[in-house]
Structure formats: C-alpha cells, structure tokens
Amino acid sequence: MEQTTRRAPRNNNGNKITYNRLAPRKNDTLVYALGGLGEVGKNMYCIEHEDEIVIIDAGVRFPEENLLGVDYVIPDYSYLVRNKQKRKVLIITHGHEDHIGGIPFLLKSVAIEKIYAPRFAVALINRKLEEKKMLKAVKIEEINEDSVVQTKFFRCGFFNTVHSIPDSLGIIVNTPNGRVVTTGDFKFDLTPVGTNADYQKMAYLGASHVTLLMSDSTNSGIEDFSISEKKVSEAILDIFKKTDGRLIVATFASNVHRVGQILNAAVATGRKVCIFGRSMENVVTIAKKMGNIKVGEQHFLTPDQLNHTPAHKVCIICTGSQGEPLAALSRIAQGTHRYIKIMPGDTVVFSSSPIPGNSASINQVVNKLFRNGATVLTNSILNNLHTTGHASQEEQKLMLQLIKPKYFMPVHGEYKMLRQHKQTAMLTGIPEDNIFTCANGDVLILRKEEVIQSSYRIQADDIYVDGNDISGVSTAVLKDRKILADNGLCSVIVCIDSRTNSILCRPVIVSRGFVFIKDSQTLLKEAEMVVYHALKEKMMQKITFQDIKNTIRGCLEPFLYNKTHRNPIVIPVILNSKEAMAQMQQLRNQRMAEKQIEAK
C-alpha cells in the first residue's frame, strides 16, 4: 500500500499555516480551576468541551482576619456568566462548606441545568437553599457510586472515598480527549467508621488508563498514614469512662463521623446529650434523619433540662473548637452563654486540631476554661482525640499507585502543599514534565489524551461577600475599613453660603478613633484654622462643592500626618445656608459637653 504524506495546511497565498500549540483549538477539552488552588477552600473545578461545562464543587473560603467585615470569599463567576450559552451541570463530591457553600451565590449568577450530589450533600444543599428561599432555583439529583451522568460530550462515573462526612465520592469524567479523575477530599482508613473506599474500582481505573488525575493536597506535608477514626473513638470512649463530672466536647460540626462517635460514647456510658451551636444542631438533625446517627431521642436533653440532670450524666457537644468568638464554646469560656456556666469538675475535650492561624484564639479559650476551673484535654501524642479527613503523603502515594495517571494536577491546597504533592507524585514515577502545579485560572488542554498547559488564562479573582451581596466588596472598601481600624476618621463640618460664595464660620472637626479629644484640643483647633484659611483663600474664586471637598482633604490630610504620623479618613460635610449656623452652634455645644464629661 502506498504511503501518503499529509500536506501541511496553507493559506490563500500558499504559505504554511503555523498553529500555536499552547492555544486552545476547537476540539480541545479544557480543565481549569476557579477556586481551590493556592488556598484551602473555595473549591471549584471546571471541565469544558465546546458548548458544555461540567463544574465540580462550588465552595466558599472563610475570610482571614485582615478581611474586615467580609463573611465569605467566593470564586469569580464572570467567565461562566460570559459563557451563558454553554450548558452547565454541577457535580458535588461531598457536603462540606468548602465544596457546597458557594451554591446559593453561584445560582444567583449562573444558569445551572442540574446539580448532582451524594445523599448527605443533597440534604445539606436543600437546607441551605431552603434558608435562602431558592429551593426551586435548580433541580437536584441524588447520586452514588453506581450512578452515571451522561451529557452530550461527557460521561461521568463515581467511586466511594473515605472522608470525615458520609457519602464522599471521587469522580470519573470521560471526555472526547481522555479520562479525568478527581478524588475530592479523601483519606485511606483501613478500619473506617462509615463506608469503605472503593479500592477495586480505583485499581480498575489504573488498569484501564487515566489521562489526568486531580488529587487532594491538604496534608501533603504530613508523613506516614493518618490514624484511623476507630482509634479516635476508642480514645473518646476511654475519656468518657474515666470522667466523673460534666463532659463538654468541642469538634467540627461538619465531621459527622466524629459527632456520631461522641454520641455513641455518651450512650454507652449512660450520659444524656445536649447539642449547642446552630451548625451542630443542623448537622445532627440531618444525620439522624438520614440514618447516619442512630441515637434515639430519649438520649438527648433540652437546654432547660441541663440544670436538673446530675453532672456525671451530662455530655454537651458544641461548636467552637477553633476558638471562633461567637461559637458556643467561646461564649461558655467567657461566661456569657445563656445555659452553661463552667464549674469545677467540668472536663472540656477538644476533638480537633488547630487550623493554621487559629492557635492564638484556641489558646485564649483554653486559658479561660482553666481559669474557670475546668480540666481541658486537647489532641496530643498522649491521646488520639482527633484524626484528619485528608490524605497524608503515604495515602497520596497509594492513590497515585492505584489510579496510575499519565498526567497529574495537585489540587485543594496552598502553593506549598501543591509543590509537596508534586514531589510525592514524582517519587511514584510520574515524570516532572507530566505534573502541573497550577493557579486558579490556569488552563490545561486535553488533546488526544495528551495534556498541555495553555498560555490562555481565565479570570479567577476572589470575590468578597458582605452579607448576601454577591456583587463583591471592592478592595477600596476593604482599604477604607483597614484605615478606619488603624487610624480612625475626622469629619470636617463646613458652613457656607453658595449665593455669596463665602464661608460663614470656622469649620468644626469631629474625630472618632483618631485622637483622644480631651488631650488634643489644641491640635483640633489648629486643624480647624488650617481648613478655614485654605477655604477662605479658595473661595475668593468661583468653585464647586467638589472643589471644596478636595481643598479640605488636600490641606487637612498632610497637616494631620505631620502632627501625628497617622492618616485618618477625612470626611467633608458641607452645610449650605445661613440657617445651618444654628446647627453648627449646636454641634459646638455638644462637643463642649463631651469635653466636660471626659474631664470628669
């Protein structure tokens, strides 16, 4: 048979057409993250082919301390909004907030055809959407390890994994250009409390060729295997047997298996349980309804029954294991809780480990509990009060050996974690060139079972949510909040008559959070005169209200910085009438009264 040589494509002038290998082409499959890379939380991964996008998870990240007044951080959905003509389905791996918390915000911006989620996650999503009055906004279909989701270009299957919440799934996405597997959050526990991991299906995937694996990197820096949840339940039961007084146990509300073990230990030792914390109450209610927690109502106490039950018969399960200021345990430690006061003989158990950055808050709570007479037990080498829900290095190696991917992309972790997971993958034999340590917005191209990192990027910024407003708090607003927190504000009240273009009296400066008024009268009077002279000179010509505000800021800000080395926010207030003179005099009298109160 004669061999034919394929002629390179040419343009109308007969010149050879050169393609940019790194640019997406028509039949390529794109893989990218809108959240979850370079951070722990806000997980959202997308697989796109032509006019379809499969979205895997839609989470939130909880804000750091420097994000003042911000409730949640969510991904930027603008790329999905711009591609509104493309069909979109959302598949959920499990029910933790960093995987489902962004769903109400996503639904407000993007048309999602259907949400596919495992059983426990469906219950949590329904509760969340019910609170937001959005139950009818989208269809939700329950999936399990045997389900198949078929779209025009994708065929998705699932396999069981072990995590700290029931019904945790890994996802297999068969695309026109290769097979993509994402593990979701997982660990390997040979004696799990809930459903076991599906080792057989993972091994089958490894034998049948996986193009790209996306795997959880949270515990990439931790060596060896994590301890089993069964070991933790044994340690908790031992504490319950040895403790005579009240037991107060703090853990993550989302760790359903742990909450179940605590409840079982309480029942086994004859204690009645009282639940505190809104998220804890929600999770326990759902887990009882779904059958994940099998403890009868007769074993629970209402808050009013606590004081009428012997101390050795009481177990209190609450939120606040991370020292959150408004959580139940923090209020108990401060003595401000409505139902619980710490008494000598109480034992407080932290069945958790500190999330990085929370150690100081936890230590404050622990110190207050000790000061009030409680005995406090935390996770240490002496007692196994907590185990992680995420794979450590040896478990990550096992996943890589089972799946045997040709290409690998570490996900769900800070940059350091992603790099450490890359090193682990190289130890299992994956070539360095086949491992992609990406950032949010980076695009991987699947092309005929090859993976290439594209030069094309997608917008993937953080959106700061204040309340339920998904338009996002701008960086300018956050900057102002930071200035207010550090330097305070000065409000400059000026009374003018625009008809005669004249200033009617000396301005009044009111400050909050800037200087102590009693000790700074001279400074404020000098500042008032600086503004007065600057305005008097400026108003010799025709000016606008904006000119007046700019003049006030332009003269006052450098004056205050030179005197105090601080930069308060300066807010000009302009009163435009002779009648405003009376208001100005009233303000002066009020300030004099404040001075007299401070002097006393």
Domain co-membership, 346 together with 491: no
CA atoms of 400 and 511, how far apart (whole Å): 61
CB of 457 closer than 8 Å to CB of 475 = no
Q: What is the DSSP string of 55-105?
A: EE----BPPPTTSTT--EEEE--HHHHHTTTSEEEEE-S---HHHHTTHHH
What is d(CA 27, CA 93) in angstroms, rounded to the nearest whole number? 27
Per-residue model confidence (pLDDT) at position 16: 46
Q: Are residues 334 and 445 in the same domain?
A: no
261 and 207 in a common domain: no
Q: Which structural domain range is residue 176 located in?
A: 29-224+389-460
CA 529 – CA 527 distance, rounded (Å): 5
Which amino acid is present at 216?
A: D
Tell me: do 53 and 107 sit in the same domain: yes
- Would 276 be classed as within a structural domain? yes
- pLDDT value at residue 200: 95
479 with 563, same domain: the answer is: yes
Full DSSP string of 464-506: EEBTTBTT---HHHHHHHHHHHHH-EEEEEEEEETTTTEE-S-
Among 58, 404, 482, smallest CA distance to 211 is for 404
The two three-digit tokens of residue 510, written as one number:
């009111």
Verify that 70 and 162 share a domain, yes or no.
yes
Query: In this structure, is residue 514 part of a structural domain?
Result: yes
d(CA 367, CA 204): 52
51 carries an active-site annotation: no
In the chain, the number of structural domains is 3
Query: Could you give phi then psi for residue 172, rounded to 5 degrees?
Result: -110, 125
Annotated catalytic residue: which of 49, 163, 390, 412?
390
Supply the pLDDT for residue 254: 87
Task: List all residues 6 or more positions away from 12 whose beta carbon is below 8 Å from its beta carbon.
Answer: none
Q: Is 4 contained in some domain?
A: no
DSSP 451: E
User: What's the pLDDT at 98?
Assistant: 92
pLDDT of residue 17: 40
| Residue of 76, 98, 216, 346 marked catalytic | 216
The string of DSSP letters for 360-422 reads HHHHHHHHHHHHTT-EEE--BTTB-----SS--HHHHHHHHHHH-EEEEEEESB-HHHHHHHH
In a domain, 195, yes or no: yes
Kindly state whether residues 440 and 502 are assigned to the same domain.
Answer: no
Does residue 201 belong to any structural domain of this protein?
A: yes
Q: Which of 76, 44, 17, 33 is nearest to 453 (CA)?
A: 33
Q: Are residues 535 and 410 in the same domain?
A: no
Last residue of a domain, one of 319, 354, 377: 377
9 occurs within a structural domain: no
Q: What is the dihedral of CA 403, 409, 415, 417, to 10 degrees?
A: 0
| Residue 3: predicted pLDDT | 40
Asked which of 460, 493, 520 is the last residue of a domain, the reply is 460
Is residue 311 domain-shared with residue 369, that is, in the same domain? yes
**DSSP assignment, residue 257?**
H
Q: Is 442 a catalytic residue?
A: no
Enumerate residue ranges in the chain where pLDDT < 50.
Answer: 1-8, 11-13, 15-19
96 and 169 share one domain:
yes
Question: 154: part of which helix (H) or strand (E)?
Answer: none
CATH number of the domain within which 179 lies: 3.60.15.10
Instruction: Say what the pLDDT of residue 110 is.
Output: 93
User: In Å, what is the CA distance from 444 to each residue of 184, 425, 429, 457, 553?
Assistant: 19, 18, 21, 10, 49
Report pLDDT for 5. 39
Domain end (from 343, 377, 411) = 377
- Are 177 and 70 within one domain? yes
Spatial separation of the C-alpha atoms in residues 161 and 169, rounded to whole Å: 5
Task: Clarify whether residues 437 and 456 are in a common domain.
Answer: yes
Question: In angstroms, rounded to a whole number, what is the distance separating the alpha carbons of residues 459 and 40?
Answer: 19
Is 516 contained in some domain?
yes
| Distance between CA atoms of residues 69 and 466, nearest Å | 7
Would you say residue 524 lies in a domain?
Answer: yes
> CATH no. for residue 338?
3.40.50.10710
